[in-house]
């Protein structure tokens, strides 16, 4: 999992409304509706299937209580992480309960205080767990499906990726899940990773693999999960490219002001967190 910095988190907290406005501009949806749509996709596959019951309805979020528990294991807690997650959850309209504790003590206090859903993260995993129905969702899956759904909406709405050529950049933890999400959406999938073996590992029969980064310019629709800064240059993106890029840092080696034709969907925390919330309800 990408380790967020305090500076990034402060920006996340400050830019929630800017994020919401950008989601609306790019997809025509508000962030919570986008997350709900992504969760529908996500819950159609194991282990997030209908066996645990239906999705929560958009109008009922105000009845849900959530608690964010700081975790001190590994490299320790990141200042501002819990507050930023709480800010995103409050934007969604849920009630936020203070655990007043960390680690297992905080987890127990969240349950003791009647929270419906608990959010917690360490160096390896960021997850949400619904105490009421036992459903758990981790951030890699939520992020992959959230950004696939954003790309689908930018392409024209549900079903718009079917038989459409889509390039997936990066075939690691998020990328491998995103590949499945894109296949589920019916996309004609092409894979690229600087580690050719990584792309080969997740390739399926109908997928293509490119090995020359210059070939990226042939694609109009891109889901970028590389999380490596400064390698994707302006000349590698065709005019009017639509890019959904969940990972931090952003790959672009240029200022977006230089390429106003590119439609970019990107944030540091909001989308994955909102999809996690919807997926466990």
Average pLDDT of the chain to the nearest whole number: 90
Reference 252, options 277, 229, 224; nearest CA is 229
Categorize the per-residue pLDDT at 116 as very low, low, confident or very high, splitting at 50, 70 and 90.
very high
Domains and CATH numbers, the chain: 6-139+271-280 (3.40.50.12150), 141-267 (3.40.50.720)
8 A C-beta contact, residue 78 and residue 248: no
DSSP-derived 3-state class of residue 42: helix
**Cβ neighbour number for residue 50 with a 10 Å cutoff:** 9
Strands 165-169 and 188-192: parallel
pLDDT in tens, 92-115: 999 999 989 999 999 999 999 999
Q: What is the pLDDT of residue 247?
A: 87
Q: What is the pLDDT of residue 38?
A: 96
Q: What is the pLDDT of residue 2?
A: 52
pLDDT in tens, 198-231: 999 999 999 999 999 999 999 999 999 999 999 9
**Cβ neighbour number for residue 262 with a 10 Å cutoff:** 18
CA trace torsion 190, 196, 197, 203 (10° rounding): 10
CA distance 94 to 231: 39
Higher-confidence residue of 26 and 18: namely 26
CA distance 50 to 54: 6
Cα-to-chain-centroid distance, residue 245: 9
CA distance 140 to 174: 5
Residue 37 pLDDT more than 50? Answer: yes
Q: Which pTM value belongs to this model? A: 0.92
For residue 184, give both structure tokens: 């589920």
Looking at beta carbons, which pairs linking 210-214 to residues 24 or more positions away fall under 8 Å? 210/167
CA distance 97 to 116: 10
Categorize the per-residue pLDDT at 47 as very low, low, confident or very high, splitting at 50, 70 and 90.
low
pLDDT in tens, 70-80: 999 877 667 78
8 A C-beta contact, residue 30 and residue 23: yes
Cα atoms found within 13 Å of the Cα of residue 140, Cβ hemisphere only:
16
- Tell me which H or E stretch contains 143: helix 139-155
């Amino acid at each position: 999992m990408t380790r967020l910095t305090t500076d990034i988190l402060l920006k996340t907290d400050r830019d929630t409304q800017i994020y919401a406005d950008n989601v609306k501009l790019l997809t025509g949806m508000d962030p919570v509706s986008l997350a709900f749509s992504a969760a529908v996709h996500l819950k159609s596959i194991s282990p997030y299937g209908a066996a645990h019951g239906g999705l929560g309805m958009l109008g009922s979020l105000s009845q849900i209580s959530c608690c964010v528990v700081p975790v001190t294991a590994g490299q320790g807690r990141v200042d501002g992480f819990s507050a930023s997650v709480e800010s995103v959850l409050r934007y969604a309209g849920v009630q936020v309960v203070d655990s007043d504790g960390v680690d297992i003590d905080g987890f127990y206090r969240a349950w003791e205080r009647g929270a419906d859903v608990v959010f917690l993260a360490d160096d390896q995993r960021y997850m949400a767990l619904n105490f009421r129905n036992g459903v758990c969702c981790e951030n890699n899956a939520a992020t992959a499906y959230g950004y696939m759904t954003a790309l689908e909406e930018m392409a024209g709405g549900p079903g718009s990726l079917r038989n459409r050529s889509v390039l997936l950049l990066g075939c690691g933890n998020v990328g491998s899940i995103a590949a499945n999400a894109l296949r589920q959406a019916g996309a004609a999938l092409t894979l690229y990773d600087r580690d050719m073996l990584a792309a080969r590992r997740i390739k399926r029969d109908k997928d293509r693999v490119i090995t020359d980064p210059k070939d990226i310019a042939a694609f109009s629709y891109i889901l970028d999960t590389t999380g490596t800064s400064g390698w994707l240059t302006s000349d590698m993106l065709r005019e009017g490219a639509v890019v959904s890029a969940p990972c931090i840092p952003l790959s672009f080696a240029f200022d977006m002001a230089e390429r106003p034709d590119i439609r970019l969907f990107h944030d540091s925390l909001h989308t994955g967190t909102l999809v996690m919330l919807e997926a466990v309800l």
